[in-house]
Chains A and B, each alone.
Chain A
């Protein structure tokens, strides 16, 4: 199916564990983004990528790592999860008109 998908949709983990959230898009968009959504903060940009092997920090990058070895995939890794990283995470890709298309989100709980 065409579009942007995220997995898992729900994840519960413990403090200190490594967690990887997956994002896959089928449009071959060059630009991809990771946001977190928290009550009272709207969506905040964690990392973004302009193309394979090109990534850069957003507004709240601490505690996160990204990679982009293929255009269609943009995984987000929490190297050592903390309770403050409990959130809903959204992946997005951008077309040439600057419109961003969002995935369904991953709800992450860190205990």
Chain B
């Protein structure tokens, strides 16, 4: 069964500091990996995704993530955090299209990011 672990429930950083949010997954084959962001009272917005190819993926809002197969990780990074980045971040793993999986996503429990001025 696929699973996702986000070890940090809550992270606080100062504006301008660098950020890394951890994500570890368990999946039997080559995973499709996603990072979503959720602002309070809003739906989920895709930040970036990894399907194959280059293991360093660039996303929106200056975020990037690196797929490390040997560590089963897909950590999200940003070099300089802005106050508007305060939100909850979800890592997700899923299967590709086709087969019987229907592309189901399994989400981690989320990491809440607080940004101090």
Please judge, given known A-B contacts A31-B103, A43-B90, A56-B102, whether A98 and B97 are in contact too, CB under 8 Å. yes
Contact B109 A98 (CB under 8 A): no
- The distance from the CB of A32 to the nearest CB of chain B, in whole angstroms, is 10
Contact B104 A42 (CB under 8 A): no
Of A12-20, A68-76, A78-86, A100-108, the stretch lying at the interface with chain B is A100-108
Chain B interface, number of residues (Cβ within 8 angstroms): 24
Please judge, given known A-B contacts A40-B109, A42-B90, A48-B102, whether A98 and B51 are in contact too, CB under 8 Å. yes
Chain A interface, number of residues (Cβ within 8 angstroms): 25
Main secondary structure of the interface of A (DSSP, over half): strand
Contact A43 B43 (CB under 8 A): no
Asked whether any CB of chain B lies closer than 8 Å to the CB of A22, the reply is no
- Kindly identify which residue among A43, A96, A99 contacts B49, using a CB–CB cutoff of 8 Å: A99
